[in-house]
Structure 1
Amino acid sequence: MKAIYALFIFCLFSQLQAQTIKNFNLKDTQNTTHSYEGLKGAKLTVIDFWATWCKPCVKAIPELNIIYDQFKDKGVSFIGINCDGPRSVAKVGPMSKSLQIKYPVVLDMDATVKTQLNLSAFPTLILIDQKGKIVWIHEGFVSGDEKEIIAQIEKYCNEK
């Protein structure tokens, strides 16, 4: 039974990693619309799907700020996609400020992008290459995960 479950998870991630991201248009907390095409990086795009109520998300964001600073001038863009619903979306702006998020944060209140990508866990971090292909996915966050995130960004930045 465990082997079947493991195979299912492997197939699910393989399918997701074979996906390409579609352009999306989402608003930020100031009601300004941003497109994926306008926010993506020249080499790589890192998207963090998060929610205000998610403790691992809140733990990950300061580390993502550090990683953002390390790679922002190397063709890597970061996008935070908040997935809070309409009832808690008012918390996103103040939380973004208190966490001092340095990269753009947009709102996916109706879970359109999250659903298109078949994501279910928070936080979920995805890396997208310049062709729009999802090359790496990471669910959850515990201390030490930042090292793996950095390693994956470096790996895909250095590919030709």
Structure 2
Amino acid sequence: MKLRELMPELSGATAWVNNEVTKEDLVGDKPTLIHFWSVSCHLCKEAMPQVNQFRDEFKDKLNVVAVHMPRSEKDLDLEEIKEVAKEHGITQPIYVDSELKLNDAFENQYVPAYYVFDKEGKLRHFQAGGSGMKMLEKRVNRVLDENEKTV
């Protein structure tokens, strides 16, 4: 995805965990952080406490959605996805992308990967990898500040 592109539709999930959301639920009110992760990804698990902190700290100002992207056949077990999500405190909606439909729509190649959209649903920041959470926090805060000014 290129910066300023619109958020793809959140269709094609093989399952939803915790709650199901649509693009319409996310766009219009507040910015959104969508993060891709996988049960077999060590870096994803290491970064999860910081993602959960964003979710909790900005719960009234930021939508957070997880996307589970399988990296192998073993990553397709829905019960394991639910178990790992519970272990790591992932309470936000989880789009289970076992057929890689959303992954393809995002043109995503990485886990962990983070996409920050403004309230209009335009991509404002993308980053991949386990480090750089300070940069992600800065970008989230910038989009939140812009949102505050337009409310």
TM-score bin, normalised by smaller chain: 0.7 to 0.9
Task: Report deviation, 1:140.
Answer: 0.4
Question: How far has the Cα of 1:42 moved from its partner?
Answer: 2.0
For 1:28, the aligned partner's letter is W
TM-score by length of 2: 0.84
Query: Deviations for 1:29-63, whole angstroms, at most 9, x for unmatched residues?
Result: 47x75423235572200000111111111111111
**Residues 47 and 79 of structure 1 are in contact (CA less than 8 Å); yes or no, is this contact kept in structure 2?**
yes
- 2:10 alignment partner, one of 24, 28, 38: 24
Structure 2 residue corresponding to 1:120, chosen from 109, 115, 121: 109
Q: 1:95 aligns with which of 72, 84, 90?
A: 84
1:132 counterpart residue number: 121
Q: CA offsets per residue over residues 99-130 of structure 1, 9 Å max, x none?
A: 01131111011111111121111111000111
In 2, Cα distance between equivalents of 1:57 and 1:45? 19
Select the structure with the greater relative contact order (CA < 8 A; seq sep ≥ 6): 2
* Cα displacement (A) at 1:22: 2.2
CA contact (8 A) 1:39 1:79 kept: no
Gaps of 5+ in 1: 1-14
Deviation at 1:86, TM superposition (A): 5.8
Instruction: Decide which structure has the larger Cα Rg and report it.
Output: 1
Preserved contact between residue 41 and residue 77 of structure 1 (Cα < 8 Å): no
Conserved in 2, the CA contact under 8 Å of 1:48 and 1:80? yes
Report matched runs for 1:50-69 at 5 Å.
Answer: 50-69=37-56
Which consecutive unaligned segments of at least 5 residues does structure 2 have? none
User: Aligned AA for 2:54?
Assistant: I
Which whole-Å CA distance do the structure 2 matches of 1:109 and 1:38 have between them? 22
Give secondary structure in 2 for the equivalent of 1:138: strand
**Residue-pair matches, total:** 142
**Equivalent runs, 1:30-49 vs 2, <5 Å:** 33-39=20-26, 42-49=29-36
- CA–CA distance in structure 2, aligned partners of residues 55 and 40 of structure 1: 31
TM-score normalised to structure 1 length: 0.79
